Amino acid sequence: MRPPKQAPKTSQHIGIEWATHMVWPDDASHKHNRGRLAVVSGGPLQTGAARLCAAAGQRIGAGWVSLIGEPAAALMMAHHETERLILARMPDHTLLDLLYGFDALVIGPGLGLSPQCHKDVVSVLTGFDRPIVLDGDALALVAQDGVSGELGQALCARQAPVILTPHQGEFERLFPQANPSVKLAATLECAKLYRTLLVNKGHQTIVATPQGRIGLSQSTTPFCASAGTGDVLAGMIGGLLAQGLEPFDAACGGVWLHSQAANRAGPGLIASDLIAHLPDLLNELAPSPLKRANPPADHP
């Protein structure tokens, strides 16, 4: 008797393999063709989450990263930012006007929950045809609407890629019928329901597509449970998307680099430490000619 056919391998631990999809710069690279990432900020007292996110997107390789905010928030960001470009959204600007030319978008960290924020998330889901990461308050707005509400329907109808990055609380609000004791099955069901790629975070992080492809990661230090680390993950994934990685590879790459950076930071970790560990990690992955130059042996 012939052995039964093996089930297709759809689930795997997220290891270094994703890095074969990494995009590296070459002699023809310039800042505008290495990926342009936009991050939408909240109001003037809530710019920190978006700034962490944007910094992570730039460190992971996007060549041009902009932070978008209403004038008071833009001014606040301009006081802090050096490498990120600030776009002030004047009253006559729509968000889509400002997104022209960007390769990827992150919206949600520190965004707020106002009717205008709701409108903005609807407008990007229906009108921005490049990959989007929805995190933080954007997920709260989707959960408020439910799958049959305006945002849920916009997600289901969207053709271009979108990645949702909920923590456990956000996941339970997005998918209240979930049984928390079966996280993998619940994540898959939720990805199918919203027809979108999901990164369900926590001690065990699960990447799941509506088609049933899965990546698992559970080797991250619990010191990662610190405010802002999720914003950094959203920025890492956004930065990889802006560079042209396929959504599943960008999600797995972001999760892997984030967990490696967290493990290197260890006790005392705060969110910006994850960004600081990216250059060493990327240097280890880079092809030989692109690796950092070693100082001469007699260098002080």
Ligand X SMILES: NC(=O)C1=CN([C@@H]2O[C@H](COP(=O)(O)OP(=O)(O)OC[C@H]3O[C@@H](n4cnc5c(N)ncnc54)[C@H](OP(=O)(O)O)[C@@H]3O)[C@@H](O)[C@H]2O)[C@@H](O)CC1
Residues near ligand X, by CB under 6 A:
46, 48-49, 52, 109-111, 136-137, 140, 167-170, 202, 227-228, 230-231
In the complex, minimum distance from the CB of residue 50 to ligand X, in angstroms, rounded to a whole number: 8
Four-residue CA torsion sign, 164, 168, 169, 174:
positive
One of 196, 205, 209, 260 touching ligand ADP (CB under 6 A): 205
Coil, helix or strand at residue 213: coil
CB of 6 to ligand ADP, least distance (A): 31
**34 scored as a contact of ligand ADP (CB under 6 A):** no
d(CA 68, CA 100): 12
Q: How far are the Cα atoms of 39, 130, 231 from residue 126, in angstroms, in the given order? A: 17, 11, 23
The region of 6-14, 78-86, 182-190, 218-226 touching ligand ADP under the rule CB under 6 A is: 218-226
CA distances from 254 to 7, 73, 207, 216, 250 (A): 28, 27, 11, 12, 6
CB of 258 to ligand ADP, least distance (A): 6
Q: Kindly state whether residue 202 participates in binding ligand ADP, applying the rule CB under 6 A.
A: yes
- Complex with ligand X: residue 63 or 136, whichever CB lies closer: 136
Q: How many residues are recorded in the chain?
A: 300
Alpha helices of the chain — where are they, by DSSP H?
A: 48-59, 71-80, 95-98, 115-127, 136-145, 150-157, 168-174, 183-194, 229-242, 247-265, 271-276, 278-285
Which range in 171-179, 220-228, 274-282, 286-294 contacts ligand ADP by CB under 6 A? 220-228
In the complex with ligand ADP, which residue's Cβ is closer, 34 or 67?
Answer: 67
d(Cα 108, Cα 127) in Å, to the nearest integer? 17
Binding partner selected for residue 48 from ligand ADP, ligand X, none, CB under the kind-specific 5 to 8 Å limit? ligand X
Q: How far is the CB of 140 from ligand X (least distance, A)?
A: 5
Which spans of this chain sit near ligand ADP (rule: CB under 6 A)?
136, 167, 201-203, 205, 220, 222, 224-225, 227-231, 233, 258
